[in-house]
Amino acid sequence: LRGDPLRLGILSTAAIAKQILTAAAATPTIDAIAVASRERARAEAVARDWSIERAYGSYQELLADGDVDAVYVPLPNSLHAEWSVRALEAGKHVLCEKPFDRRPERVEAAFDAAARAGRVLTEAFMYRYHPQTERIRALVGSGALGALRTVRASFSFRATEAQKVLRLDSSLDGGALLDVGSYCVSMARLLAGEPEWVFAELDPAETGADLRAYGLMRFPGGVVAQFDAGLDAADWGLHVVGSDGVLVAAEPWHCRRPVIEIRRPGEPVETIELERADSYRLELEAFAAAIAGRPSPLLGRDDALGQARALDALHRSAASRLPVEPAA
């Protein structure tokens, strides 16, 4: 593979695949050569629009294509683990959309399959690849805010009726907690470690899946994270509170205007402006580098497992209306 572009296949004609195709077109390290859909005509239409060589009428057909080195899995949440495992068993490396899966046992089984196959498996939390996220982590880690006290994160967007069909289907693991709350959980874990216990409240839509999610997570050292997430409002942001100051990021997830503010009592606000960057491109390049044997991607087995344990505990807390300790 060294030197040659990574030959990527896309499993489905998901809306988010456009971001990955745009990023792939912008980097010489990736060549999108195949797309598959449950309906061949849909795959053919995407192939035409994006000048992709091969279109398949089933995901399995794409997995049988020996020229495909790696696949991107942007399927509904409940299908992530299953199709990742099928792809790994077909010898492909896998970049799978977030949330990988909320069931720790499925995450373990998928990473076991990756280890058996000797292939890379990674979760596509694109915000983790943006330099803004690394700067936030480094600032907090170096004590720029003093001792960490609280992480307050929010991510809501107004889903269109079309977007709600998949996102509010509980049989496909829809719901605000997994869809957008998972970013808040990921950031809290990045900054504070693994939670000792969590509490959640989920407001269901008519389908039974959560339209809004509210969470509290307690971390070692007394650090607390609070978050709210929803599919019916437009709100996103991050406040990281330390003993000496507060870090504010207005765009922590899409990072379109990457600016970090640090507010300390009695001092002028410190503004850190970062260069714009395409998180999807950085994510794809890190994936290709990991496959070529360079540093492993930021998001491996431990992170996906920690994420699943936290999300699963939040779901169990909402069902029992009690605080829950994540499974060890």
Ligand X SMILES: NC(=O)c1ccc[n+]([C@@H]2O[C@H](COP(=O)([O-])OP(=O)(O)OC[C@H]3O[C@@H](n4cnc5c(N)ncnc54)[C@H](OP(=O)(O)O)[C@@H]3O)[C@@H](O)[C@H]2O)c1
Q: Which residues bind ligand X (CB under 6 A)?
A: 12-16, 37-39, 42, 74-77, 79, 97-98, 124, 126, 166, 179
Shortest distance, position 35 Cβ to ligand X, whole Å:
8
Shortest distance, position 288 Cβ to ligand X, whole Å:
17
Name 301's Cβ contacts closer than 8 Å, sequence gap at least 6: 107, 108, 111, 114, 121
DSSP state of 178: I
Amino acid at 241: V
Residues 297, 290 contacting (CB under 8 angstroms):
yes
Amino acid at 161: E
CB nearer to ligand X: give 127 or 219.
Answer: 127
CB nearer to ligand X: give 16 or 277.
Answer: 16
Measured in whole angstroms, how far is the alpha carbon of residue 185 from the centre of its chain? Answer: 10
Shortest distance, position 260 Cβ to ligand X, whole Å:
21
Q: How far, in Å, CA of 98 to CA of 90, rounded?
A: 21
CB nearer to ligand X: give 116 or 158.
Answer: 158
Shortest distance, position 149 Cβ to ligand X, whole Å:
29
- Sign (positive/negative) of CA torsion 162, 163, 167, 168? negative
Shortest distance, position 47 Cβ to ligand X, whole Å:
12
Is 164 noted as a catalytic residue in this protein? no
Residues 72, 288 contacting (CB under 8 angstroms):
no
> Residue 293 to residues 73, 119, 225, 302: CA-CA distances in angstroms?
21, 11, 35, 19
CB nearer to ligand X: give 150 or 207.
Answer: 207
DSSP notation for 76-95: -GGGHHHHHHHHHHTT-EEE
CB nearer to ligand X: give 242 or 297.
Answer: 297
From the list 18, 92, 98, 164, the catalytic residue is: 98
Active site residues: 98
